[in-house]
Structure 1
Amino acid sequence: MSAAIPPTERRVSARVGAISESATLAVDAKAKALKAAGRPVIGFGAGEPDFPTPGYIVEAASDACHNPKYHRYTPAGGLPELKAAIVAKTLRDSGYEIDPAQVLVTNGGKQAIYEAFAAILDPGDEVIVPAPYWTTYPESIRLAGGVPVEIVADETTGYRVSVEQLEAARTERTKVVLFVSPSNPTGAVYSREDTEAVGRWAVEHGLWVLTDEIYEHLVYGDAEFTSLPAVVPELRDKCVVVNGVAKTYAMTGWRVGWVIGPKDVVKAATNLQSHATSNVANVSQAAALAALTGGLEAVAEMRTAFDRRRGTIVRMLNEIDGVVCPEPEGAFYVYPSVKALLGKEIRGKRPESSVDLATLILEEAEVAVVPGEAFGTPGYLRLSYALGDEDLVEGVARLQKLLAEARD
């Protein structure tokens, strides 16, 4: 075993050095770089709507630029009027009644997740993380000193974990369970009954729950979004909700999210943010205020387009021998299994992992997808269907042509 590196010779701290690059952002960046170089790459990697931010929101931001009150520091925890809008929106959409002291406005959902974990975790505390998971969750847990404990669901259960799985993973060190519905990367949506069962199990064992509701308005067919603290009121004193405007209003670049939780936890997270970043950019907060008070017409239009694309991509992927693609009920991703293709020869190569297969697909078909390793489950690919219909059909047609060449 090699000797430990003395602190004086360590250029990057062990804590930060252990953080992995965001795989989804890396794939998107590589696809964009290849496109900039003239390659006709079609990217299925980005986790953002392909629609512009609605005009009335942009106009509100423009007006805010000319308002001197937004040229100065504002409260670190968020503009009071935006907090009030989040309170009203939460009651409208979730049936969950809160007050402004339970809200912290953050620089996007990622900061909300990190600060929430930082506020409730001590070193060594365990967090049960259902996989497939969004790449940022385990990294935020580790950075906050916690230990992610993964439990895996696959396509046979619609990528939904059971209470029995949660119980099997629970130890005396377990403090938090992560609950995400609709899910990134799978699009899984838990029923009201299953959501309530998870909440009541957490209450029974005195556990905290962090629930990410960022895709709440993107559900399809008979699926319905259910807010955990709304259906299990007994959990509210140990439940933290993270959310934001990014997906609902096509505002990923505006960077506005929020934390909802018990007042002491929100106060602690606000103290952390007061030193880390201070207030979220006021122009973005003004835009978010316009979004939350302006109705849901924009997301209804996006949802119609996403639903159409969902049907197309699921049908086309399931036409490929060796690909099994469940129909997602929410978000804007599909998560097909490609296990049957691994080890087969495709254009002189034999990909042994979904990383190898994603690399081959990018090189040979000029299509960017994210391998399942990024989400804790090798043998899968994530494709976002938040791209134009023509590009979607062309991209999957390229996959069909390439993967049809797979041979034993």
Structure 2
Amino acid sequence: MNAPCKPLLSPLPSRLPEVGTTIFSTMSALAAQTGAVNLGQGFPDFGCDPALIRGVTQAMEAGWNQYPPMPGVAALRQAISDKIVHLHGRRYEAETEITVTAGATQALLTAILALTQPGDEVIVLDPCYDSYVPAIEMSGAVPVRVPLTRGSFRPDFAALAAALDPKTRLLLLNTPHNPTATVWTEQELQQLADLLAPTDVLVLSDEVYEHMVYDGRMHVSAAHVPGLAERGMVVSSFGKTYHVTGWKVGYVAAPAPLMQEFRKVHQFNVFTVNTPMQHGLAAYMQNPAPYMDLSAFYQRKRDAFAQGLARTPLRLLPCEGTYFQCVSYADLRGPERDLGEADFCIWLTRELGVAAIPVAAFYGDGTEQKTIRFCFAKQEATLQAALERLARLG
């Protein structure tokens, strides 16, 4: 007879004691519970190109179902290299400078683990994507939050300069920016490069929305700016670009010495990534039209959604890129105007049947600006249903 399990004498220590259920899970669960239109979590509700599915199916049928090389399928790494040099003018060698990852979030965590030591400081620009700070804390490094300029969400270079010190090891950059939908200009990126030039600070550039920029803007990658490319890792995501977020396939490009350290960690926390999907993506990337046309595709959705929102009391903030639209509810006249952002999103979900995300959730200190974020990566019918419900705000 087995002896009974001995109970724990004390609570299990947590690596992330301040972390609970994310706001994305909370709002998506509430949307499902109430039957609300879910414009909270950032994923499309439409399918990908059937040709991409066929490419993966053909790879499976051809027998590509065992482990691929640890850094990724050679054909896919070469296709990524060719794309980057075509778009951004820098050639990353497929053999030594590109690694395929299990999505961008894994790439970011692996990069932080590879590039930092316990006690190093890592600058993040608030508001920021919710995985950044937990990844830094799990690595034993110290997050240093530097707010973007309130209202415009542009970089505050004076604040950045003040945050740099001898302990600063890494800076996380995100453009196009989630959640605020701002896009860094080439001038701003060069100003950052100039600021970092006298230092040994490395850069980790999250560019997963690189193909979603609007109104004639261009996405300027850290790969395009020599002073950043030489000290940086660039992360992107096939899930965002090809409407397959559930596939969790992304990549990292970096100079060989940085990539060597990245792969040391990558081989032990993931080792490698889904083989047939890599082959399918490699074949699909031979045609650049799907990603070259993506900005126009999403700008049509942005414009139609903005036109509908303009008929409500919600005030639109600029949307330069990504598939997110931030709005202010400060001009509402009812009692809901005085709610905090999280409570307002709950009210909006329960009372009007539309789920959104509070921008305060992306701030370390929960900064409140009466601003919420909608995702417009949805079918026209989904967006129209949401707009009909939001019209009741009038």
Relative to the length of structure 1, the TM-score reads 0.86
For CA contacts below 8 A with separation 6 or more, give which structure has more relative contact order.
2
Partner of 1:352: 339
For 1:268, the equivalent position in structure 2 comes to: 261
Which residue identity is paired with 1:195?
L
Distance 2:20 2:331 in 1: 28
The residue correspondences of 1:325-336 to structure 2 (distance < 5 A) are 325-336=316-327
Q: Structure 1 residues 92-101 or 107-116, which shifts more?
A: 92-101
Show CA shifts across 1:190-214 (max 9, x none): 1111111112212233311111111
Cα drift, residue 115 of structure 1 = 0.3
Equivalent-residue separation in structure 1 for 2:24 and 2:382 (angstroms): 19
Opposite residue 191 of structure 1, the aligned amino acid is T
The residue type equivalent to 1:252 in the other structure is T
For residue 204 of structure 1, give the secondary structure of its aligned residue in structure 2: coil
CA distance in 2, matches of 1:299, 1:328: 19
Give 1:135's aligned residue.
130
Unaligned runs of 5+ in 1: 1-7
Q: Return 248-257 or 10-19, whichever deviates more.
A: 10-19
Of 370, 383, 401, the match for 2:392: 401
Map Cα deviations across residues 315-349 of structure 1 (whole Å, 9 max, x no partner): 4445444x43222111110122334559x524xxx
Is contact 1:40–1:366 with CA below 8 Å preserved after alignment? yes
Could you tell me which runs of 5 or more consecutive residues in structure 2 were left unpaired when the two chains were aligned: 1-7
Q: CA deviation at 1:374?
A: 1.8
**C-alpha contact (below 8 Å) 1:22/1:136 kept by paired residues:** no
**Number of the residue aligned with 1:3:** none
Aligned counterpart in structure 1 of residue 145 of structure 2, from 150, 154, 158 = 150
1:65 matched to 2:60: yes
Which runs of structure 2 are paired with 1:20-169 in the superposition (5 Å)? 20-31=20-31, 33-34=32-33, 39-68=34-63, 70-100=64-94, 101-153=96-148, 156-157=151-152, 159-169=153-163
CA distance in structure 2 between the partners assigned to 1:25 and 1:331 by the alignment: 20
Deviation track 1:112-169 (CA, whole Å, cap 9, x = no partner) reads: 0000111011112222211221111222222222222222235632x21132221122
Q: Name the residue aligned to 1:191.
A: 185
For 2:4, the equivalent position in structure 1 comes to none
Question: Counterparts of 2:35 and 2:228 in 1: how far apart (Å)?
Answer: 50
Please report how far the alpha carbon of residue 93 of structure 1 lies from its aligned counterpart in structure 2 after TM superposition.
1.9
CA distance in 1 between partners of 2:175 and 2:250 (Å)? 17
Q: Secondary structure at the match of 1:149?
A: strand
For residue 4 of structure 1, what is the aligned residue in structure 2?
none
1:242 aligned partner? 235
Q: For 1:313, which of 279, 291, 305 is the aligned residue?
A: 305
Deviation track 1:279-324 (CA, whole Å, cap 9, x = no partner) reads 1010221122123222223661x53342123223334445444x43
State how far apart, in whole Å, the 1-side matches of 2:284 and 2:320 are: 25
Paired positions, count: 383
Matched residues in 2 for 1:369 and 1:299: separation?
29
State the alpha-carbon separation in 1 of the partners of residues 50 and 174 from structure 2: 30
Q: Residue 205 of structure 2 aligns to a residue in which SS?
A: strand
